[in-house]
Amino acid sequence: MQKRTLIIGGGVAGLCLAHHFTRRNEAFCLVDDGKNASSVVAAGIVHPMSFRRTLLSWNATPFYKEAQAFYKEIEITLKKKFYHPLKVRRIFSSKEESLTWQQRRNDKSFEPFLHEFSPEDESFGPYGSGCVKGFWIDSKVFITESLNDLHARKLLFSDTVTGDNFNPKSLEYKGTKYDAVVLALGYKHKEFPWFSKAPVNATKGQLLTVKWDNPELHTSLHRKAFALPISENTFKIGSTYEWNNTTLGPTEKGRELILKNVTSITSDSLEVLSHTAGIRPTTNDRRPLVAQHLRHRQLFIFNGLGTRGYMLAPSLAQHLSEAIIENKPLSEELNPSRFYS
Protein backbone atom coordinates (compact mmCIF):
# COMPACT_ATOMS: atom_id res chain seq x y z
CA MET A 1 0.00 0.00 0.00
CA GLN A 2 1.33 3.43 -0.96
CA LYS A 3 2.40 5.68 1.89
CA ARG A 4 1.28 9.31 2.21
CA THR A 5 3.81 11.86 3.50
CA LEU A 6 3.35 15.39 4.82
CA ILE A 7 6.34 17.71 4.33
CA ILE A 8 6.37 20.75 6.61
CA GLY A 9 8.61 23.49 5.20
CA GLY A 10 9.07 24.85 1.69
CA GLY A 11 12.76 25.68 1.63
CA VAL A 12 15.34 23.87 -0.48
CA ALA A 13 15.24 20.78 1.79
CA GLY A 14 11.46 20.31 1.72
CA LEU A 15 11.18 21.08 -2.00
CA CYS A 16 13.96 18.70 -3.03
CA LEU A 17 12.18 16.00 -1.05
CA ALA A 18 8.91 16.89 -2.80
CA HIS A 19 10.61 16.55 -6.18
CA HIS A 20 11.94 13.10 -5.22
CA PHE A 21 8.44 11.98 -4.21
CA THR A 22 7.10 13.32 -7.50
CA ARG A 23 9.76 11.40 -9.41
CA ARG A 24 8.54 8.18 -7.79
CA ASN A 25 4.84 9.02 -8.07
CA GLU A 26 4.48 8.89 -4.29
CA ALA A 27 1.58 10.51 -2.42
CA PHE A 28 2.51 13.64 -0.45
CA CYS A 29 1.53 17.20 0.43
CA LEU A 30 3.70 20.13 1.48
CA VAL A 31 2.82 22.86 3.99
CA ASP A 32 4.63 26.21 3.92
CA ASP A 33 3.89 29.47 5.71
CA GLY A 34 5.32 31.66 2.96
CA LYS A 35 7.95 33.11 5.28
CA ASN A 36 11.04 31.43 3.89
CA ALA A 37 14.00 33.11 5.55
CA SER A 38 17.01 31.54 3.84
CA SER A 39 16.56 29.37 0.76
CA VAL A 40 14.84 31.98 -1.40
CA VAL A 41 17.45 34.71 -0.80
CA ALA A 42 20.52 32.45 -0.88
CA ALA A 43 23.17 33.08 -3.53
CA GLY A 44 22.84 29.41 -4.52
CA ILE A 45 26.52 28.88 -5.37
CA VAL A 46 27.49 25.20 -5.56
CA HIS A 47 31.09 24.01 -5.68
CA PRO A 48 32.97 21.13 -4.01
CA MET A 49 35.70 23.04 -2.16
CA SER A 50 36.27 24.18 1.40
CA PHE A 51 38.47 27.17 0.55
CA ARG A 52 39.57 27.91 4.08
CA ARG A 53 41.41 24.58 4.32
CA THR A 54 41.85 23.92 0.59
CA LEU A 55 40.01 20.61 0.92
CA LEU A 56 37.03 18.97 -0.70
CA SER A 57 33.95 19.54 1.43
CA TRP A 58 32.09 16.68 3.13
CA ASN A 59 30.97 14.04 0.58
CA ALA A 60 31.68 16.56 -2.17
CA THR A 61 32.25 14.11 -5.01
CA PRO A 62 28.88 12.30 -4.93
CA PHE A 63 26.84 15.25 -3.63
CA TYR A 64 28.12 17.68 -6.27
CA LYS A 65 27.49 15.33 -9.19
CA GLU A 66 24.07 14.25 -7.91
CA ALA A 67 23.01 17.86 -7.32
CA GLN A 68 24.09 18.87 -10.80
CA ALA A 69 22.07 16.07 -12.43
CA PHE A 70 19.07 16.71 -10.18
CA TYR A 71 18.73 20.42 -10.94
CA LYS A 72 19.14 19.87 -14.68
CA GLU A 73 16.33 17.33 -14.56
CA ILE A 74 14.02 19.57 -12.50
CA GLU A 75 14.63 22.44 -14.95
CA ILE A 76 13.18 20.24 -17.66
CA THR A 77 10.26 19.19 -15.47
CA LEU A 78 9.35 22.76 -14.46
CA LYS A 79 10.24 24.27 -17.86
CA LYS A 80 12.09 27.07 -16.08
CA LYS A 81 15.75 28.13 -16.19
CA PHE A 82 17.56 28.31 -12.84
CA TYR A 83 20.74 26.20 -13.30
CA HIS A 84 23.79 28.20 -14.46
CA PRO A 85 27.30 26.75 -15.04
CA LEU A 86 29.99 28.67 -13.19
CA LYS A 87 33.74 28.89 -12.84
CA VAL A 88 34.60 29.61 -9.20
CA ARG A 89 37.84 31.51 -8.68
CA ARG A 90 39.61 31.43 -5.32
CA ILE A 91 41.95 34.42 -4.91
CA PHE A 92 44.78 33.18 -2.69
CA SER A 93 45.48 35.05 0.53
CA SER A 94 49.00 33.70 1.08
CA LYS A 95 51.89 31.95 -0.62
CA GLU A 96 51.12 28.86 1.49
CA GLU A 97 47.58 28.70 0.10
CA SER A 98 48.90 28.94 -3.44
CA LEU A 99 51.37 26.11 -2.84
CA THR A 100 48.70 23.93 -1.21
CA TRP A 101 46.40 24.46 -4.19
CA GLN A 102 49.19 23.34 -6.54
CA GLN A 103 49.68 20.22 -4.42
CA ARG A 104 45.99 19.41 -4.72
CA ARG A 105 46.45 19.17 -8.47
CA ASN A 106 48.40 15.96 -7.87
CA ASP A 107 45.56 14.45 -5.82
CA LYS A 108 43.23 12.34 -7.97
CA SER A 109 40.21 13.13 -5.76
CA PHE A 110 40.51 16.80 -6.82
CA GLU A 111 41.12 16.05 -10.50
CA PRO A 112 37.44 16.11 -11.63
CA PHE A 113 36.93 19.61 -10.21
CA LEU A 114 40.03 21.77 -10.60
CA HIS A 115 40.64 23.81 -13.74
CA GLU A 116 44.11 23.84 -15.25
CA PHE A 117 46.24 26.81 -14.26
CA SER A 118 46.27 29.63 -16.81
CA PRO A 119 48.16 32.93 -17.14
CA GLU A 120 44.98 34.70 -16.01
CA ASP A 121 45.18 32.91 -12.64
CA GLU A 122 48.46 34.67 -11.87
CA SER A 123 46.96 38.13 -12.45
CA PHE A 124 44.80 38.06 -9.31
CA GLY A 125 46.46 39.56 -6.27
CA PRO A 126 50.05 39.04 -5.13
CA TYR A 127 49.64 35.26 -4.71
CA GLY A 128 47.53 34.38 -7.75
CA SER A 129 44.33 32.32 -7.86
CA GLY A 130 42.88 28.97 -8.79
CA CYS A 131 39.60 27.92 -10.34
CA VAL A 132 37.22 25.11 -9.52
CA LYS A 133 34.16 23.88 -11.41
CA GLY A 134 30.77 24.89 -10.06
CA PHE A 135 27.31 26.18 -10.83
CA TRP A 136 24.74 28.44 -9.24
CA ILE A 137 21.04 28.00 -8.73
CA ASP A 138 18.78 31.02 -9.09
CA SER A 139 17.20 30.40 -5.71
CA LYS A 140 14.21 32.68 -6.21
CA VAL A 141 13.24 30.94 -9.45
CA PHE A 142 13.80 27.43 -8.05
CA ILE A 143 11.80 28.04 -4.87
CA THR A 144 9.00 30.06 -6.48
CA GLU A 145 8.47 27.76 -9.46
CA SER A 146 8.64 24.61 -7.32
CA LEU A 147 5.95 26.00 -5.01
CA ASN A 148 3.86 27.13 -8.01
CA ASP A 149 4.05 23.61 -9.42
CA LEU A 150 2.86 22.09 -6.15
CA HIS A 151 0.05 24.64 -5.95
CA ALA A 152 -1.08 23.81 -9.49
CA ARG A 153 -1.19 20.12 -8.58
CA LYS A 154 -3.09 20.90 -5.35
CA LEU A 155 -0.25 19.53 -3.22
CA LEU A 156 0.55 22.78 -1.38
CA PHE A 157 -1.06 24.12 1.80
CA SER A 158 -0.27 27.76 2.64
CA ASP A 159 -0.46 27.47 6.39
CA THR A 160 1.44 27.41 9.66
CA VAL A 161 1.55 24.02 11.37
CA THR A 162 1.37 24.11 15.17
CA GLY A 163 0.76 21.71 18.02
CA ASP A 164 -2.87 22.87 17.91
CA ASN A 165 -3.62 21.75 14.35
CA PHE A 166 -1.30 18.76 14.05
CA ASN A 167 -1.22 15.65 16.24
CA PRO A 168 2.12 13.75 16.21
CA LYS A 169 0.46 10.60 17.58
CA SER A 170 -2.26 10.24 14.95
CA LEU A 171 -0.28 12.13 12.25
CA GLU A 172 -3.45 13.94 11.28
CA TYR A 173 -3.48 17.37 9.65
CA LYS A 174 -6.56 19.11 8.19
CA GLY A 175 -8.61 15.94 8.53
CA THR A 176 -6.10 13.74 6.68
CA LYS A 177 -3.93 11.10 8.30
CA TYR A 178 -0.39 10.65 7.06
CA ASP A 179 1.98 7.70 7.24
CA ALA A 180 5.04 9.93 7.66
CA VAL A 181 5.69 13.58 8.46
CA VAL A 182 8.94 15.40 7.67
CA LEU A 183 9.87 18.56 9.55
CA ALA A 184 12.03 20.65 7.20
CA LEU A 185 11.67 23.86 9.16
CA GLY A 186 15.12 25.41 9.09
CA TYR A 187 15.96 27.64 12.04
CA LYS A 188 12.28 27.67 13.13
CA HIS A 189 12.31 24.04 14.24
CA LYS A 190 12.40 25.04 17.93
CA GLU A 191 8.91 26.50 17.62
CA PHE A 192 7.65 22.90 17.56
CA PRO A 193 7.82 20.38 20.42
CA TRP A 194 9.29 17.61 18.24
CA PHE A 195 13.07 17.55 17.74
CA SER A 196 13.23 20.72 19.82
CA LYS A 197 16.52 19.56 21.34
CA ALA A 198 18.15 19.06 17.95
CA PRO A 199 21.06 21.55 17.90
CA VAL A 200 20.13 23.71 14.93
CA ASN A 201 21.71 27.15 15.10
CA ALA A 202 20.28 30.30 13.55
CA THR A 203 23.04 31.90 11.48
CA LYS A 204 21.98 35.09 9.76
CA GLY A 205 23.52 36.04 6.43
CA GLN A 206 23.17 39.25 4.44
CA LEU A 207 23.65 39.82 0.70
CA LEU A 208 23.92 42.84 -1.56
CA THR A 209 23.01 43.04 -5.23
CA VAL A 210 25.26 45.59 -6.93
CA LYS A 211 26.02 47.19 -10.25
CA TRP A 212 29.68 46.62 -11.13
CA ASP A 213 31.26 47.64 -14.42
CA ASN A 214 32.77 44.20 -14.96
CA PRO A 215 32.16 42.20 -18.17
CA GLU A 216 32.62 38.82 -16.43
CA LEU A 217 29.47 36.70 -16.73
CA HIS A 218 30.58 33.17 -15.86
CA THR A 219 33.11 33.39 -13.01
CA SER A 220 32.49 34.10 -9.35
CA LEU A 221 35.31 35.54 -7.25
CA HIS A 222 36.01 34.44 -3.67
CA ARG A 223 38.31 35.71 -0.95
CA LYS A 224 36.98 37.39 2.20
CA ALA A 225 33.74 37.86 0.30
CA PHE A 226 32.25 36.46 -2.89
CA ALA A 227 31.04 38.21 -6.03
CA LEU A 228 28.60 36.22 -8.17
CA PRO A 229 27.64 37.50 -11.65
CA ILE A 230 23.88 37.11 -12.14
CA SER A 231 23.43 39.25 -15.27
CA GLU A 232 25.38 41.81 -17.28
CA ASN A 233 27.29 44.07 -14.85
CA THR A 234 25.10 42.87 -11.96
CA PHE A 235 26.50 40.82 -9.08
CA LYS A 236 25.43 39.38 -5.77
CA ILE A 237 28.07 39.96 -3.12
CA GLY A 238 28.25 38.67 0.43
CA SER A 239 28.03 37.34 2.95
CA THR A 240 27.86 37.84 6.69
CA TYR A 241 27.82 35.17 9.41
CA GLU A 242 25.84 36.38 12.41
CA TRP A 243 25.53 33.60 14.97
CA ASN A 244 22.31 33.08 16.96
CA ASN A 245 20.60 35.98 15.21
CA THR A 246 16.94 35.51 14.17
CA THR A 247 16.21 39.08 13.08
CA LEU A 248 15.09 38.98 9.46
CA GLY A 249 15.89 42.51 8.31
CA PRO A 250 19.11 43.69 6.67
CA THR A 251 21.24 46.11 8.66
CA GLU A 252 23.59 48.99 7.88
CA LYS A 253 26.31 47.16 9.82
CA GLY A 254 25.91 44.16 7.54
CA ARG A 255 26.05 46.33 4.43
CA GLU A 256 29.23 48.05 5.61
CA LEU A 257 30.91 44.74 6.44
CA ILE A 258 30.16 43.24 3.01
CA LEU A 259 31.42 46.34 1.20
CA LYS A 260 34.56 46.30 3.34
CA ASN A 261 35.25 42.60 2.69
CA VAL A 262 34.65 42.86 -1.05
CA THR A 263 37.64 45.22 -1.29
CA SER A 264 39.74 42.03 -1.05
CA ILE A 265 38.33 41.26 -4.51
CA THR A 266 38.06 44.67 -6.16
CA SER A 267 38.74 48.34 -5.52
CA ASP A 268 36.13 49.36 -8.10
CA SER A 269 33.16 51.50 -7.13
CA LEU A 270 29.98 49.45 -6.67
CA GLU A 271 26.40 50.72 -6.78
CA VAL A 272 24.15 48.91 -4.29
CA LEU A 273 20.81 47.97 -5.86
CA SER A 274 19.28 45.88 -3.08
CA HIS A 275 20.06 44.39 0.33
CA THR A 276 18.56 41.15 1.66
CA ALA A 277 18.99 38.85 4.64
CA GLY A 278 18.20 35.24 5.50
CA ILE A 279 18.75 32.82 8.37
CA ARG A 280 20.67 29.64 7.66
CA PRO A 281 20.05 26.51 9.76
CA THR A 282 23.53 25.35 10.79
CA THR A 283 25.07 22.82 13.16
CA ASN A 284 28.30 22.98 15.17
CA ASP A 285 29.97 20.21 13.16
CA ARG A 286 28.64 21.47 9.79
CA ARG A 287 26.81 18.20 9.17
CA PRO A 288 23.07 18.08 8.47
CA LEU A 289 20.36 16.42 10.55
CA VAL A 290 18.34 13.66 8.87
CA ALA A 291 16.72 11.29 11.34
CA GLN A 292 13.62 9.62 12.80
CA HIS A 293 12.10 10.73 16.08
CA LEU A 294 13.06 8.34 18.88
CA ARG A 295 9.47 7.96 20.12
CA HIS A 296 7.23 8.97 17.20
CA ARG A 297 8.82 6.78 14.53
CA GLN A 298 6.81 8.26 11.65
CA LEU A 299 8.21 11.74 12.37
CA PHE A 300 11.43 12.78 10.60
CA ILE A 301 13.75 15.79 10.75
CA PHE A 302 15.47 17.22 7.64
CA ASN A 303 17.49 20.23 8.73
CA GLY A 304 20.88 21.84 9.37
CA LEU A 305 22.01 22.09 5.74
CA GLY A 306 23.85 25.34 6.44
CA THR A 307 25.71 27.26 3.76
CA ARG A 308 25.81 24.29 1.34
CA GLY A 309 22.10 23.61 1.25
CA TYR A 310 21.80 23.68 -2.53
CA MET A 311 24.54 21.04 -2.89
CA LEU A 312 23.45 18.79 -0.02
CA ALA A 313 19.67 18.83 -0.39
CA PRO A 314 19.21 16.68 -3.52
CA SER A 315 21.26 13.70 -2.25
CA LEU A 316 19.95 13.91 1.31
CA ALA A 317 16.37 14.19 0.07
CA GLN A 318 16.84 10.99 -1.92
CA HIS A 319 18.31 9.29 1.16
CA LEU A 320 15.32 10.36 3.26
CA SER A 321 12.76 9.43 0.62
CA GLU A 322 14.20 5.91 0.46
CA ALA A 323 13.98 5.62 4.24
CA ILE A 324 10.31 6.62 4.19
CA ILE A 325 9.22 4.66 1.12
CA GLU A 326 11.43 1.56 1.38
CA ASN A 327 12.24 1.56 5.11
CA LYS A 328 15.95 1.85 4.37
CA PRO A 329 18.07 2.82 7.39
CA LEU A 330 19.14 6.42 7.78
CA SER A 331 22.81 7.24 8.29
CA GLU A 332 23.77 7.42 11.96
CA GLU A 333 26.25 10.11 10.95
CA LEU A 334 23.26 12.42 10.39
CA ASN A 335 21.43 11.67 13.63
CA PRO A 336 21.18 14.47 16.24
CA SER A 337 22.16 11.88 18.87
CA ARG A 338 25.79 12.39 17.82
CA PHE A 339 25.76 15.59 19.88
CA TYR A 340 24.54 13.85 23.03
CA SER A 341 26.99 10.96 23.33
Which pLDDT tens digit goes with each residue over 177-235? 999 999 999 998 887 878 888 899 999 999 999 999 999 889 999 999 999 999 999 99
Reduce the DSSP state of residue 215 to 3 states and report it. Answer: coil
Rounded to an integer, what distance in angstroms lies between the CA atom of residue 207 and that of residue 258?
8
**Does residue 111 surpass a pLDDT of 90?**
yes
Residue of 188, 135, 134, 248 lying closest to 14 (CA atoms): 188
Do the Cβ atoms of 191 and 180 come closer than 8 Å?
A: no
- Tell me the average pLDDT of the chain: 94
Rounded to an integer, what distance in angstroms lies between the CA atom of residue 217 and that of residue 111?
25
Q: How far is CA 15 from CA 22, 30, 71, 287, 320, in A?
A: 10, 8, 12, 19, 13
Q: What structural domains does the chain harbor?
A: 4-41+141-199+285-339 (3.50.50.60), 201-282 (3.30.9.10)
Rounded to an integer, what distance in angstroms lies between the CA atom of residue 339 and that of residue 292?
15
Q: Which residue has the higher pLDDT, 289 or 161?
A: 289
Rounded to an integer, what distance in angstroms lies between the CA atom of residue 151 and that of residue 134?
31
CB atoms within 10 A of CB 203: 22
Rounded to an integer, what distance in angstroms lies between the CA atom of residue 42 and that of residue 44?
5
Q: What is the band of 55 on the pLDDT scale with cuts at 50, 70, 90?
A: very high
Which pLDDT tens digit goes with each residue over 35-52? 867 899 999 999 999 998
Rounded to an integer, what distance in angstroms lies between the CA atom of residue 309 and that of residue 57?
13
Share of the chain above pLDDT 90, in %: 83
- The number of CA neighbours under 13 Å toward the Cβ of 236 is 19
The segment with the largest mean pLDDT, out of 82-91, 169-178, 194-203, 244-253, is: 82-91
State the pLDDT at residue 238.
95
Do the Cβ atoms of 212 and 234 come closer than 8 Å?
A: yes
Q: How far is CA 119 from CA 52, 98, 124, 127, 147, in A?
A: 23, 14, 10, 13, 44
Mean pLDDT within 96-120: 95
Q: What is the band of 300 on the pLDDT scale with cuts at 50, 70, 90?
A: very high
Pairing verdict, β 226-231 and 180-183: unpaired
Q: What is the band of 3 on the pLDDT scale with cuts at 50, 70, 90?
A: confident
Mean pLDDT within 302-312: 97
Q: What is the band of 259 on the pLDDT scale with cuts at 50, 70, 90?
A: very high
Q: What is the band of 341 on the pLDDT scale with cuts at 50, 70, 90?
A: low
State the pLDDT at residue 298.
93
Do the Cβ atoms of 224 and 271 come closer than 8 Å?
A: no
Q: DSSP for 96-131? A: HHHHHHHHHTT-TTTTTTBPPP-GGGGGSTTT-EEE
State the pLDDT at residue 1.
61
**Does residue 66 surpass a pLDDT of 70?**
yes
State the pLDDT at residue 103.
95
Which pLDDT tens digit goes with each residue over 192-203? 878 888 899 999
Which pLDDT tens digit goes with each residue over 155-171? 999 998 877 788 878 89
Strands in 164-282 per DSSP E: 166-167, 172-173, 176-177, 180-183, 201-211, 219-222, 226-231, 234-238, 242-243, 271-282
